[in-house]
Structure 1
Amino acid sequence: MRFQEFQEFRQRQLSASPSLLDTSETNVYGALAPLRPQPPTDVRTVHRCDLARAWLRRFALPEEWSGHAMVCRGVRHGLGVVFHWLHAVQGRLWLPSDVYPVYFELARAAGLEPASYPTLPAPALPGSPADHRPEYLLLANPSKPLGRYLSDAECAALVSWLRESPHRRLLIDSVYDLGAPFAAGTQSLLDTGRAVLLHSVTKGWLWPRTFGVVLLGPAHAELADAFRTDPPTSAQLQLADRLLTEHGDVPRQVVAELAARAERLFERLPQDVLGAIPTASRICPGNYFFPVGIPARTLQREYGVLAMPVRVFGENDWSGSILTSLADAFGPAPTGAR
């Protein structure tokens, strides 16, 4: 069942059984709309180099990396540029099969035929041997819908994967990392010198497809040229400047609101279901995806919980399902409610 099919199924189930506990809402922008900063009304000139340095300062990264910090319109845009370059150099691409179907859409639009690996119930890195071609593996940290940061052991396995071939690189989608600096695991992968980091204001500031940064490695001069010739609009640069300079606390507010929603979800769940959520997912800051090793049909039939099957996110044979904390039932009480 793909995403749109599930949305139609979800509406039918909620209409037929209003008592179902809806744990299948995925629209974070709608759920957290009051936290989204307003766009600027004044007009000013904003330079990409200044934004790159501001982004590096926020995440405690060396400002001398500004020449490698490519300003873009978000992670989707950044991946599109990278994927077109990877196709031009006849590279191989590995994508997580059960994280974000748009990864595959972007890759195929660039002419690539990506291979895949599963992340649920835990990431399983590909074991195929390397060859002479550039080989890139995309991962998310924190990973969704896994709902947690990669463990030290998983990061060590990624470093070992890199060491098996000088042609291997990582693409790290850090859009769900709402803290600053980035997670220690992400930093350790950056320290290999063989990772490209992608980040944006999509989740932390609730502004999708607006502004992002792709932090390139030292060997990506061709990619740098591609980003420089395809910049964000002046309005997007102005908004990004306002978000970074005047609304720097918004990601913390988003984390706090998502933590409150998660607690309300946990209070409503049957104990058997709550106990099936891995601890790492329950305590991950800013998380709103919670995997459970219980089939969605069982959750609905035996517990009155409407959850998402894993296949909503992509190909995976795991029998578990995914809960979210974004439905109105887990939001703040209306003003004036007692």
Structure 2
Amino acid sequence: MNRIPTFVLAAALAGSAPGFAQDFSRRPITMVVPAPAGGASDAIARSLADTMGKALGQIVIVDNKPGASGMLATQLVARAPADGYTLLVTHTTPIYYAHYTFAKVPYDVRRDLAFVTHICDASLVLAVHKDVPARNMTEFIAWAKTRKGHVSYGSYGVGSSGHLMSSYLSESRQLGMSHVPYKGEAPMIQDLVGGHIPWAFATAGSLSPHFMSGQLRPLAVVGEQRLDDLPGVPTLIEAGFRDPEFKIIGGLTMMVPAGTPAPVLARLEKEARAAIQTAQLKARFQVFGLIGVGNSAKEAREGFEASGPVIEKLVRISGARMD
């Protein structure tokens, strides 16, 4: 699909942009999601589509386009007409991490895409198998040091936020741990529960049943606040791990093609942020252990820019470069 030059679109829409910003009646809106149906990303996107569709007076269709670490879907949106009818609801990998981990990325986030809002943060938890003799981070580090060179950790993919933070923890505390990558979170957690790996970072929603069964134990939460479902578990910051590298977390972001007219972008931002505050979305966030954000487009862009140097450092330390 050939992309229409931004200046042509802007000129064509200039005369009618204010009215168009209030009218999405021309055709259904497509919300592209770089994940298969059934997961957290898909569930959140469908709730957003339903809520925003009602507010905009239009059908919003969710189009699942998994593949290439999310880059397939992101490229599709980056090349779509900048008219407000194509949205991207994506996890962080193709937006925040891809340019640092892949040699070739078929789009440039700064040039080809515009932020609408950061939808939510993923509440990653450092979890250990029940047989690991540690009930807090101090005991965990002490245990790992006694087994230096003989401890492994799992991740849900090379270059994922879980991989980068685990690698940084090992390197910065000189623990000599080995990385065991998995093709997704589910198989990683299965091996964690089975004792094949002793610890890993994973999402709270996926870990919760295993915390309740006693098979796994939570030691710390990534981010700046404790989780409502795990009120007794401290953040890594509270546990004394104040490195900025431990503040990088995953989540979902909404974007549109660059060059989308300002009035259209403003309307989408308004309705997306309102949807994120509804009971429907809050219930979805809770199910998956996510923390609703819904910031402004400007704030979302600033957060993206601020994260770059930290992610670049984490990728360099982990060696998660895919050429």
Using the size of structure 2 for normalisation, the TM-score is: 0.32
